[in-house]
Amino acid sequence: MSIPLIGFYHNSEQYVFSGSANVPLHVGDHVPVVYHPSDPDNALVYNFDGVWLGPLIYSIFPLLILTAVLFSFFKRDDLLAVRFKPFSIKKLKLAEPDE
């Protein structure tokens, strides 16, 4: 699979960057591009892979590690079993109605 080259104009200057290999693009396709106006050399194709996939992967992995570390402080029995304190039911005396 080939990597597409994507071009756009900003302030009458042309910028070209390479897109992602897993995005099926053809010559002449129009795609949304996001970039900071002060740094158009770092442009991205605005889709899930280009914008959100990297940050999502880099945030899920540390959360999994943090969860594993937090669960390592508990005993296995404490995590798997819900323990209730035994309680007793006391018989209540019913009050006689006043006449």
CA proximity to 15, closest of 55, 43, 45, 47 = 43
CA pair distance 97, 99, nearest whole angstrom: 6
Per-residue pLDDT, 61: 92
Q: Do 48 and 22 touch, CB atoms closer than 8 A?
A: no
Residue bearing tokens 């442009």: 43
Per-residue pLDDT, 20: 77
The torsion angles phi and psi of 70, rounded to 5 degrees, stand at -65, -40
CA–centroid distance for 49 within its chain: 12
The torsion angles phi and psi of 8, rounded to 5 degrees, stand at -155, 165
Q: Which residues of the chain have pLDDT under 70?
A: 1, 76-89, 92, 99
Q: Do 49 and 22 touch, CB atoms closer than 8 A?
A: yes
Per-residue pLDDT, 71: 81
Per-residue pLDDT, 81: 61
CA pair distance 93, 99, nearest whole angstrom: 18
pLDDT one-digit tens code per residue, 23-44:
778 888 898 999 999 999 999 8
Structure tokens that stand for 43 in this block: 């442009």
The pTM for the full model equals: 0.53
